[in-house]
Each structure stands twice: as structure tokens, then as C-alpha cells.
Homo-oligomer: A and B are copies of this chain.
Amino acid sequence: MRKIVECIPNFSEGRRTDVIDQIVAGIKSVPDAILLDRESDPNHNRSVITFVASPESAVDAALAGARKAAELIDLNRHTGEHPRMGATDVIPFVPISGVTMEECVALARECGQRLWTELGIPVYLYEKAAVRPERENLAAIRKGQFEGIREGIATSEDRRPDFGDARVHPTAGITAVGARPPLIAYNINLGTSDIEVANKIARAVRHQNGGLRYVKALGFELKDRGIVQVSMNMVNCEGTPLFRVFEMVKREAERYGVSVIGSEIVGLVPQMALNAVADFYLQLEGFSAAQILEHRLQSAMEAER
């Protein structure tokens, strides 16, 4: 099967289109890196670039973007709502097909090493690529942002980078590089306007309060539709699949006499997450992705190459 890694670097620039264009051009200049999406938020002053590449090219493409960002972004002049610590703020590598999480961890570490040696930017490793358990959680690493890290990095042992000297790059700051499963933004809509019902269900299903391990959830009002929703991030859809959280939300809603009126996937979803839903509800026996015509075609085309 074709090997595909997804990479979603976040850059601390969401206003100057020419800067973002040059960063994107840097990524696209690497043969075999394919841009899937780019989104810039002027309030957050941040851009999220999604590309896929072979494992051989993924690090080159991430570095090409980071090189441009280091040239063009000065964190000393950066303002915006989103907490940030680097011109290239975070670089997660995500296994999509034919690639293991371990390979993505190796890519993250290679990328971290090269950010330091080639660009002089120190690096924290996070999530699955973390070498210190307390760095698995990105929010903990990011605390204090650029300015706070610049202050504390030389003296505080728990601020010491995983790659590079104990100082931030003067303009490009410091970058968090990690590996993680694909993330799915998934919302379930309820037939009520009572936000308390959504809040209670969110608490029931999310990991934080005793629910499913890979679910983050919040209650949310859709005022224009007069309904509420359980808004979720599914951070590991193999560990906690969509159908399991759907069934749990439906059952919890019943307890309040409320129906699930629909659900929505926001943004991209890996095909295997949907295939797992079909497999569950049809109670399939011995089904393999090799039976999917498009999958067979892909394999046959690669065999011919």
C-alpha cells in the first residue's frame, strides 16, 4: 500500500497573505508534497497548513515551510489571540496509510534534530514523540508562550529543549514537533434547545470526567437552529471510534427524553474511520479493506509501477 504521512504545521502568521503564500510555496517546492488545505485566521494571527507526503519527503517539506517562516516571521512583533511560541509553532506528523505511528515518531525526531542543526531553532517533542511524559500534552509545553519560555528556558530544567541549546531563536522562537493519530472534529446535534442536556452528555462521554479515553467534548448552542450539540474532538479514532461515541451520546440523550437529530463531521476524515462505522453497524464478518474496489485499484496501480 502507498505510504502516506499527513503533516499539519501551524505558523504564527494569519494576516500577511504574501508571507503565508511564501511558506506554502516552500512546502510545495518539495516534490511529492501535496497541499490539501490551508486556513488562516487573522484574529488568531495563525495559519494551519495541511499537506501529505511520502515518509521520505514529509520532513523536507515541513522544514521548507519552517525555513521560510523563520525568514519572514519575527515573534517579537507578533500579536494574536492564540498562544504561540514559534514562527513555526507546532508540527505534528500523522500516519494515514501504510505508515505506523512509530515511523511518524521517527519522522518527528528527525525533523526536530534538523530544525536545530539546520535552522538553529530549538525543539520540544510532544504527544507520541515526547521523550518526557509531561510533554505529551501540548498545552503544558506551551504555557507562558514565546515570552515566558524565553525567560525561563536557560534556568528552568523543565523548560530545557529536547533538541538544541537552552535558548530560544531570537525571532523564530521554539517549535513543538510531534506525532499523533488523525483528529476528527465531530458534532452530534440534539433535538432540544436546553444547553444543560448537551453539557451533561459532554461530561459523560469525555475522557476528562470519566468517559471515553480519546474524546474531548463540550456542550454548544446552535442559536440559529434553536438546538444544542455535543461538540467533540476525536483524538484517536481507532481507539475510540465514531460509532461508539455516537451510540453513547444517543443513549445518554434518551435518558433526558431527547433525540439525536443528526451529526456532522467538520473538515477532513480518514476513510478508515468511516469504514469502521459501516463494519460495526452491518456486523461484518472477516471484512478487509482489500475488498474495496478503489483500494484494490490503488494496490494494482502500485504493483505495476
Contact = CB atoms under 8 A, between A and B. Distances in A.
Contacts of A263: 282-285
B286 A269 contact: no
Nearest to A292: B271
B300 A287 contact: no
| Residues of A contacting B: mostly | mixed
Interface in A135-159: none
- How extensive is the interface on chain A, given as a class? 35 or more
Interface string A266-305: 0111110011011001111111000111111100110010
A48 to B, nearest CB: 15
Nearest to A304: B34
Interface in A162-209: 182, 189
A281 B277 contact: yes
A166 to B, nearest CB: 38
A246 B6 contact: no
Interface string A31-45: 000111100000000
A267 B291 contact: yes
